[in-house]
Amino acid sequence: MGMVAQLTAEEVRSFVDRITAGVCPDDPAAQIDVIAALETLKCAAAAVQAELSVVYDARRRADEAAAGVQAARQGRGVASEIALARRESPHRGQVLLGLAKVLHSEMPHTLARLRDGSLSEFRAMLLARETACLPMELRMFADEETCADPAALDGVGTRELVGRIRRLVAELDPAAVARRARKAQADRNVTVRPAPDTMTYLTALVPVAQGVAAYAALRKAAEAARAAGDPRSLGQLMSDLLVARVTGVADIGTPEAAPAVPVTVDVVISDESLAGGHAPAEVSADGVPAEVVPVEVARNLLAQAIDQPADSEVINWFRCLYRNRLGRLVAMSTRSRFHTKAMGEFLALRGAGICATPFCDAPIRHNDHITPVADGGETTADDGQGLCQACNHAKQAPGWRQHQVGHPVDRHQVETITPTGHRYTATAPAPPGWREPRYVQTGPGRYQLVA
């Protein structure tokens, strides 16, 4: 058997250049053929990524074991490296690495179907998720029953595929399914994420009986309000009722507006916008990432807060953060080993409440020194950043380094260097009113703005 050449990044990039620079065929049938072939290519690439992830993880763990790293710390940061390489969040990187390991060791037929294009990465992940409660031998049996024959997947939709694997899992180990349902109740939580047009999605993950009961109660109350003459739609009423009942505000609002809620809000706005300019502002609250809003919305929020009577139970506290003439947020410093509460708030506002790691969308949970204190790092705004818990732990793994980059008048930038030497730069979000500066360097550490 002849030698098989190793796959290189240069070959992959060359092929990407080839297919992106290619001329689309004129024949409609040929166009569909190319679309189908590219879909197969996407699946096959995902399979190769999974296999490489497993190989890289094993190599890193072996190297760290040889270097005397404790077993519990071996492999720390690998998922974050994979996430950076795939331009994903660290959490997503952990999920993808976990999927790769499962496909490699317990679901070889699913991996084979991913490689030949019969399954997408998304569907492979669904199969892995639905069989996670099974012991290894039963999981491998379910994998063989479902994916051993590529023809059995022809024409099968995602919902049908999930239903098929769920029925099989329930037949193989009903007790495991019951245990999984009980465990799922422990994962109940409430999350919030931004939505278009200055809205937000408030999502509750609760047991099905409680969720249905809550929905039915809101709908029944909304229908009663409609019957009494309230002109709001059912959806608007249910939304206002939910906010009113969760926050304890008695009034469910007026037809023109949702109920006011007592809350502390951070508003980052430029002085030009506050005085009548058009640059947008940012609104955030404790633990919630910043959301860009039209300047008129920010000015209305400020006006409503000012108009509240002194004895009102609905009082919105606003904190303003100033910026310099270029748009860079004002810095802070302290001699303390730990970041003060005020500095932590500053770091969160500068980062719009989002972890500073590239591609990570998680909320900030830790205030971190870019240069560790043990290596001479200072507790300043320039040497500080807000990170999520996973990213803060990942950068403590062997071989990770960070340092601030960029010019003094630029937005805050941090370069991360992974153990393999790959470099990734994260730039702080542009604050309201930001404009890109133009400058020339006049000497070491000296810069002059160009009008």
DSSP assignments along 387-419, one per residue: E-HHHHHHTTSTT-EEEEES-TTSPPEEEEE-T
Are 345 and 325 in contact by the 8 Å Cβ rule? The answer is no
User: Among 296, 301, 270, which residue's Cα sits nearest to residue 284?
Assistant: 301
Are 426 and 356 in contact by the 8 Å Cβ rule? The answer is yes
Distance between CA 369 and CA 380 in Å, rounded?
8
Tokens of 338: 């730990």
If you search the block for the tokens 């492999």, which residue do you land on?
75
Tokens of 43: 């699946």
What is the structure's pLDDT at 326?
Answer: 53
What is the structure's pLDDT at 4?
Answer: 56
User: Among 400, 407, 443, 447, which residue's Cα sits nearest to residue 427?
Assistant: 407
Distance between CA 440 and CA 342 in Å, rounded?
34
DSSP codes of every residue in 278-289 = ---EEEEETTEE
Amino acid making up residue 13? R
What is the structure's pLDDT at 348?
Answer: 82
How far from the centroid of its chain's Cα atoms is residue 212's Cα?
28
How many angstroms separate the Cα of 398 from the Cα of each of 32, 75, 381?
Answer: 48, 10, 25
If you search the block for the tokens 């799922």, which residue do you land on?
184
φ and ψ at 358, to 5 degrees? -55, 135
Residue 331, judged by CB atoms within 10 A of its CB (0-12, 13-18, 19+), counts as: middle
How crowded is residue 152: how many other Cβ atoms within 10 Å of its Cβ?
14
What is the structure's pLDDT at 404?
Answer: 85
What is the structure's pLDDT at 23?
Answer: 83
If DSSP codes are grouped into helix, strand and coil, which group holds residue 318? strand
Q: Where are the alpha helices (DSSP H) in 192-294?
A: 208-227, 234-247, 271-274
What is the structure's pLDDT at 94?
Answer: 94
What is the structure's pLDDT at 264?
Answer: 56
Task: For strands 423-427 and 413-417, give the pairing.
Answer: antiparallel
pLDDT along the chain (451 residues), means of 10: 71 92 87 93 96 96 93 91 93 95 97 95 95 94 94 88 89 86 84 81 84 85 90 91 80 51 61 68 64 70 58 47 52 54 80 84 85 81 86 87 74 87 84 61 65 49
Distance between CA 420 and CA 56 in Å, rounded?
11
Are 160 and 253 in contact by the 8 Å Cβ rule? The answer is no
Ramachandran sector of residue 141 (left: φ over 0; alpha: ψ -120 to 50; beta: rest) = alpha
What is the structure's pLDDT at 409?
Answer: 54
User: Among 280, 299, 300, 284, which residue's Cα sits nearest to residue 434?
Assistant: 280
Distance between CA 424 and CA 85 in Å, rounded?
9
